[in-house]
Structure 1
Amino acid sequence: MGQKLIGFVLAMAAALQVAKADAALAYPPPLKPAAQDAKAARLAADLLSRYHYKAIPLDDALSGQVFDQYLKSLDPEKLYFLQSDVDRMAADRTRLDDAILTEDLSAPFAIFNLYERRAAERMAFARSLLSKGLDFERDETLMIDRKDQPWPATEAESQDLWRKRVKNDWLRLRLAGQDDAAIRKVLDKRYDSNIKRLAKISSADAFQAFMNAYTTAIEPHTNYLGPRAAENFDIAMRLSLVGIGAVLMEIDGYATIRELVAGGPAMVSGQLKVGDRIVAVGQGAAGPMEDVVGWRLDDTVALIRGAVASTVRLDILPADSGPDASIKPVTLVRNAIKMQDSAAKAKVYSVTTGEGKRAVAVITLPSFYEDIAALQKGDKDYRSAARDVAQLLQELKTQKVEGVLIDLRNNGGGSLREAVALTGLFVGKVPVVQTRNAKGDISVSTNTDTGVAWNGPLGVLINKGSASASEIFAAAIQDYGRGLVIGEPSFGKGTVQTVASLDRIAKNPTPVFGDLKVTIAQFFRVNGATTQLRGVTPDIRTPATGDDTPFGESSFGNALPWTRIKAVDYAAVGDITAQLPRLLAWHESRVQRTPDYQGLLEDIAKAQDQRKNNVISLNEAVRRKERAASEKRLVALLGGVETGAAPGAESALVDDGLQFNERKLAKDLAAKKAREAVNDAILNEAVSIVSDSVALKEGKAQITASASPTRPVMVKDLSKGSSEP
């Protein structure tokens, strides 16, 4: 009896401790679906079951896949849920289809709310460790990638995992030179900010997370876009918005100006500068000011954007002033802002050859953008990728460049029409790509709009981040024998999407339901092969500079298969096969003698070893040795007058243990500048290969860029219109 009583008392004590902990922890408020969410989900389900290229019925089988995808999206590294949580939630595994069809989203929202509770608990536990001692002489490790690991079985196992994560955070700051008191302050603020950020998550965020679990369970490139996400997607496609021309970031709860856009109202006014903090926003000449301190950044941005020629008023806390400094009122008139940083850019490089210097241009294209709304209105000056590249090519001709390299690395695609038009700038009015819809009907997209703007030597640089429209362009250049494809095999996205407005389908005048990006077709090269799964294989391969873990279309378990259809009637406009053996030989010879390239290979090998081992040491002595080697490598990367890097720039790139919004803005901008100065060994080699191709076309087989492994030097940046050293 006494033992039972003791057990009862201990159980009650434990329960009281849990209750106290729950009371002390500020859990985020439970989220509930908005009135329009269930209707939007049902509309999306009806659309997907009827029009998707790979239509799958919304049943228990798909529900199970949605459940798995949902947990994976919420907790990809198995850091928050316990196995017991997952077991308990498994009761809803075959009910998520019913949640959509019956327009009752309580089950997916319950899962999301549990995720938020667990995340808050993990952050609170991390904060509790900061007052305790950590042993950095102990030989233990932290697993880098936990995606394939099970969820922690017990609370103790979860806490040990988070103890190691806190220890790693502390060690990174310690190696950067911070003392324990400063580290404790930084980490306490970080974990507290994470808890507060959880409280800012809205029901719209939760709904979008669930809907994307549903759409991507069908096929990887079908997505749901809430009203705000749909607006941002449109902005990214047209490369323009209406606002004040200021790039903002959140620092210490303030919307802080990180950059002023040239020609925008903010810069033209002369009233704002980098580092200024926005504390309130008002509409019109006399509208009330709304305090935005502590707001989500996207909510503040939404207030600042508006209609062309409308007025917005800002209360500004000047840069570097304290929180009690005088507020500066600023009034601005909104205008259209062009997003130049995301547009096509061109630079001219000088390559040392056996006969002197040779000029090769690099055109970097971040996406295949197109302002469809302006095009439909008949605007003759509408923004498009192909039009911008055509302009750059005309300017490059005046610079007397001898070869052109199109850099499509990490270009995820965009407008199919722009891919066709861009191909025409180099190949002419020819068939570019085939598409097959769900019924099996095949159509051919032929360029009829653009003529040849460049007929000289051409290279296309790709990597595994080059997808969709990038692959259409690279494949067409390769199939027509028009130029060299250089780099890594591409992503392997051979599908076509269209954006459907759920509000338009429901005849709803107010945009509340969002958009659905739906896969409706598959595209094929003119030779009949698809780029799906396999991507585009380069003519000259360079080492993979990114993560060597599964990436691209082949990493998705539900991706469409590779297949082939009949080729179109097309004729090559060139033939690079005769050049390839010599170009490959020169390439291999040159990279063996190029320190930057060899250093890159060493970096890749080290990164691959670390990923293979999948652990990082938590022993301070081991980490200091690794850091010293890293600093030495950064010096080499930034060395030489060719980079234009400032002396000591490597210090801006050494790991300081801080997150992007924790360091001083000036240091963050210095790090960005230093990253831009890092030698790009892959780009340099691609430029040299194009230079070699120029030599072969001129019949100068022995006088090539391979005569010298010297880095190509950027001599003109057309986006700035100025020469650089």
Structure 2
Amino acid sequence: MKFRPALVLLLALTATCVFAQSAADLGAGSTGRKAASWPLTSTPSEAQAAQLSARFLTRFHYDAQPLDDAMSARIYKAYFKLLDSEKVFFTQVDMAKFAPLKTQLDDAIWNQDLSAPFSVFNLYVQRAVERMTYARGLLKQGFDFSVDESYTFDRDHADWPKDQAELDTLWRQRTKNDWLRLKLAGKNDDDIRKTLDKRYAGYIERVKQLDGEDAFQTFMTAYAETTDPHTDYLGPRAAENFDIAMKLSLEGIGAQLQARDDYTMIFTLVPGGPAIKSGKLKSGDRIVAVGQGDNGPLTDVIGWRLDDVVNRIRGKKDTTVRLEILPADAGLDGKHEIVTLVRKKVSIEDSAAKKKVVDIKDGDVTRKIGVIELPSFYSDFGARSEGDKDFKSATRDVAKLLGELKAEGVQGIVVDLRNNGGGSLAEANSLTGLFIDKGPVVQVRDSKGQVEVQGDDNAGMAWSGPLAVMVNRGTASASEIFAAAIQDYHRGLIVGEPTFGKGTVQNLVDLDRFSQSDSEKPQLGELKMTIQEFFRINGGSTQLKGVTPDIAFPKNGDDKDFGESTYDNALKWTQIAPADYQPVANLNAYLPQLLQLHDARVTKSPAWKLMLDELAQYKTMRAKTSISLNFATREVERKQQDAIQSDFRARHKAIDGTDATLGDEQSNLDDGLNANERSLKSELKQEKDAKKAKDVPLNETAHILFDAIGLAKADPKLAAEVLPYGGKSSSTAAVAPSSPSPAAVPAAQH
């Protein structure tokens, strides 16, 4: 369909005119921050970025699809799902007005006229403010909790409310449930009213701070993810954060910040960063103003968006930033302090590979098992291409940790990839090379059907001993490449839950390289586009199916909502010819014995039984889609939950001396508060307690490896079969990881 500007303009004007009724409420208000101009409109750069993205996606995507009316309809659906997934802002009346856009969003992109999607976003902002304002009004009169009614909170399959009256009913129930949760937690009516009014007012302020970049980011995310689940558009802000996540470093002060009320608060300090080295900052300090250089003016940042404050604090290495601080232990009228810091390159070590040693005792035998936790396959591509010898790399870090664990005398290694969502394809390839002598690791097929085999060409291993790899549903992409290769080679045991099932490779396209602008500042953002599909060396794919563990642990039930199979537009599973490789061992020789020992042990384990009971309770709570709004009914349910949680805490205390429960907020007793409404002190304590809690699946994986070592030691013939290369490999020194050429690295995003 050709673009019809008259109709789109009418829709835009409809949103604008309705919006004008509350436009005054969407100014700077009390935030002190310069507000966006309302209604929001796209910039020429954004329109250009949208069209450029379409050119790439329709020509170079692995499964390139035309941007036409059919695609427009899918974008339309995805856009409204991003804006209003629970169907609590728009009504059927609103949706009827926007229905013509189903076949016009493609024209909007090609013609560089984004007024249509921006009109939708503007109405979304208006509706969000209206709904929260309505909820605040309900607080004045309170609620009758003796009435028997229920609230359906799971609205995934619900229809849009048909009119304003039905929407009001929905929001009355939502607000009533918020009140009831706090009431059940022991709050009195005055405290509840204050808490909820502050919560809703804060939501309104955050909505008012949404700007054109947010609108454009949301719309382009809808388009990108409609092509396939893992293609994304990254605006300038999102692109910078993605880059930081990949290289695990940034130039700044080294502080993790959090939005609390109208303040930006210091949550934690990064070890080795300028902030902690100064000795003048601590958790809970509130940032009141930010100044550049030794003498630049201080800009008040109270009420600002968190990312805007972060952008003012980040900056080039060796430059100065000044922070005006309201100390954590001072009241709101306390004395402010000025802290001057020089920005440095800060490593985000919390997201880097870590090690520990677990002592497993069984009978009279104790064995040291080394554990390496790897949160992602990170790599600082920029530093690497510039020849920096100390560039950040998952493979380099793991190789170093393996050397340290060997020096500590461990007999087996567990690589923990739980919730590792992937990262660099090159890192997955080179990290596999630490555990095999040499050979293929992965096969990659492009859109033309050409297959390239990638592998480790460097002889030698950093670790040649017994190995286990822990996986779960959150193990995805590059992590699945590593786990699949280890499994196909029979190099180590795969233990845990079936993995995510992402079998595609993405490449980053810097759209500014194709811009007609002379600006040095990023304007157009980046496109993370699927360009290839990877396959195991056995010819199978991890796409949809993931990696199936050799020894399976109980599932937590998230696979119904989380994983590649939950996406409607996921690529289908396929297979190709296997690569030329040979397994380095035969782990099937003792797998039945290991399974038997595992089953016998967990049957008698109080910790394992507690984990199963907690998982069952978690699944029960997850399965609920509605809840009663009657106080007496909910109070009975609350007491039942309290008894269950008290039992869990007592059992944890008896097992490992902690009060920790499963670690998911849904498994703990509801206090009715949002995360940022709890005290910072209690939040930090909760994190600390969670880290001290016993990791039952990890300990069981280490025990499985303990059994594997014992079986091999007891039977030399079996050892020759199950140990890599028959246990005769002489190249066991820590080796330099194989690395692709720097030019090839940037294309390996995963």
Q: Deviations over 1:607-639 (max 9, x none)?
A: 333433422333332332233134314414641
Q: Which residue of 2 aligns with 1:684?
A: 699
CA distance in 1, matches of 2:347, 2:153: 40
Q: Which residue of 2 aligns with 1:549?
A: 560
Q: Counterpart of 1:26 in 2: which secondary structure? A: helix
Shift of 1:401: 1.2
Verify the 8 A CA contact 1:425 1:450 in the aligned structure 2: no
CA distance in 1, matches of 2:145, 2:702: 46
Is 1:485 equivalent to 2:506 in the alignment? no
Q: Deviations over 1:303-334 (max 9, x none)?
A: 11111111111111111312222211111111
Shift of 1:603: 2.5
Q: Which residue of 2 aligns with 1:262?
A: 271
Is 1:669 equivalent to 2:684 in the alignment? yes
Q: Which residue of 2 aligns with 1:195?
A: 204
> 1:217-232 residue pairs with structure 2 within 5 A?
217-232=226-241
Which deviates the most, 656-665 or 611-620?
Answer: 611-620
Percent of pairs with identical residues: 52
Q: Counterpart of 1:427 in 2: which secondary structure? A: coil
Q: Deviations over 1:124-149 (max 9, x none)?
A: 12111212232334443332421111
Shift of 1:640: 4.1
Is 1:277 equivalent to 2:291 in the alignment? no
Which deviates the most, 80-89 or 526-535?
Answer: 80-89
Change (3 A) 1:426 1:313: same
Q: Counterpart of 2:45 in 1: which secondary structure? A: helix
Change (3 A) 1:630 1:141: farther
Q: Which residue of 1 aligns with 2:536?
A: 525
Partner letter of residue 683 of structure 1? L
Partner letter of residue 230 of structure 2? H
Is 1:468 equivalent to 2:477 in the alignment? yes
Partner letter of residue 628 of structure 1? D
Pick the aligned partner of 2:351 from 324, 329, 342: 342
Verify the 8 A CA contact 2:438 2:457 in the aligned structure 1: yes
Change (3 A) 1:286 1:450: farther
Partner letter of residue 161 of structure 1? L
Is 1:331 equivalent to 2:340 in the alignment? yes
Partner letter of residue 629 of structure 1? A
Is 1:632 equivalent to 2:646 in the alignment? yes
Verify the 8 A CA contact 1:463 1:487 in the aligned structure 2: yes
CA distance in 2, matches of 1:75, 1:675: 33
Q: Which residue of 2 aligns with 1:513?
A: 524
Which deviates the most, 228-237 or 78-87?
Answer: 78-87
Shift of 1:201: 0.7
Verify the 8 A CA contact 1:33 1:109 in the aligned structure 2: yes
Pick the aligned partner of 2:426 from 417, 426, 430: 417
Partner letter of residue 489 of structure 2? Y
CA distance in 2, matches of 1:61, 1:650: 40
Verify the 8 A CA contact 1:249 1:257 in the aligned structure 2: yes
Verify the 8 A CA contact 1:25 1:121 in the aligned structure 2: no
Is 1:246 equivalent to 2:255 in the alignment? yes
Pick the aligned partner of 1:80 from 89, 104, 107: 89
Verify the 8 A CA contact 1:136 1:620 in the aligned structure 2: no
Q: Which residue of 1 aligns with 2:636?
A: 622
Change (3 A) 1:650 1:458: closer
Change (3 A) 1:612 1:317: closer
CA distance in 2, matches of 1:226, 1:368: 23
Q: Which residue of 2 aligns with 1:564?
A: 575
Change (3 A) 1:417 1:573: same
Is 1:295 equivalent to 2:294 in the alignment? no
CA distance in 1, matches of 2:328, 2:474: 37
Q: Counterpart of 2:103 in 1: which secondary structure? A: coil
Shift of 1:467: 0.6
Change (3 A) 1:291 1:558: same
Q: Counterpart of 2:653 in 1: which secondary structure? A: coil
Q: Counterpart of 2:583 in 1: which secondary structure? A: coil
CA distance in 1, matches of 2:146, 2:589: 60
Q: Counterpart of 1:196 in 2: which secondary structure? A: helix
Is 1:49 equivalent to 2:58 in the alignment? yes
Pick the aligned partner of 2:376 from 331, 348, 367: 367
Partner letter of residue 653 of structure 2? G
Which deviates the most, 606-615 or 657-666?
Answer: 606-615
Which deviates the most, 147-156 or 607-616?
Answer: 607-616
CA distance in 2, matches of 1:20, 1:395: 62
Verify the 8 A CA contact 1:126 1:191 in the aligned structure 2: yes
Change (3 A) 1:145 1:557: same
Q: Which residue of 1 aligns with 2:111?
A: 102
Change (3 A) 1:616 1:578: farther
Given the two structures, how large is their TM-score scaled by the length of structure 1?
A: 0.90
Q: Which residue of 1 aligns with 2:77?
A: 68
Shift of 1:397: 0.9
Pick the aligned partner of 1:212 from 197, 200, 221: 221
Shift of 1:365: 0.5
Is 1:596 equivalent to 2:610 in the alignment? no
Partner letter of residue 305 of structure 1? R
What is the RMSD of the two structures over their aligned residues, measured on CA atoms? 2.3
Q: Which residue of 2 aligns with 1:164?
A: 173
Q: Which residue of 2 aligns with 1:706?
A: none
Q: Which residue of 2 aligns with 1:318?
A: 327
CA distance in 1, matches of 2:328, 2:197: 24
Verify the 8 A CA contact 1:526 1:568 in the aligned structure 2: yes
Verify the 8 A CA contact 2:602 2:609 in the aligned structure 1: yes
Verify the 8 A CA contact 1:631 1:650 in the aligned structure 2: no
Count of equivalent residues: 683
Shift of 1:21: 13
Is 1:126 equivalent to 2:141 in the alignment? no
Given the two structures, how large is their TM-score scaled by the length of structure 2?
A: 0.88
Which deviates the most, 654-663 or 459-468?
Answer: 654-663
Q: Which residue of 2 aligns with 1:26?
A: 25
- Give the unaligned 5+ runs of structure 2: 1-16, 28-37, 717-750
Is 1:497 equivalent to 2:506 in the alignment? yes
Verify the 8 A CA contact 1:634 1:650 in the aligned structure 2: no
CA distance in 2, matches of 1:217, 1:106: 20
Change (3 A) 1:640 1:611: closer
CA distance in 2, matches of 1:449, 1:304: 43
Shift of 1:25: 9.0
Pick the aligned partner of 2:674 from 659, 670, 674: 659
CA distance in 2, matches of 1:118, 1:165: 16
Partner letter of residue 362 of structure 2? T
Change (3 A) 1:27 1:637: farther
Change (3 A) 1:626 1:354: same
Q: Deviations over 1:249-303 (max 9, x none)?
A: 0111111111111111111111111111111111111111111110001110111
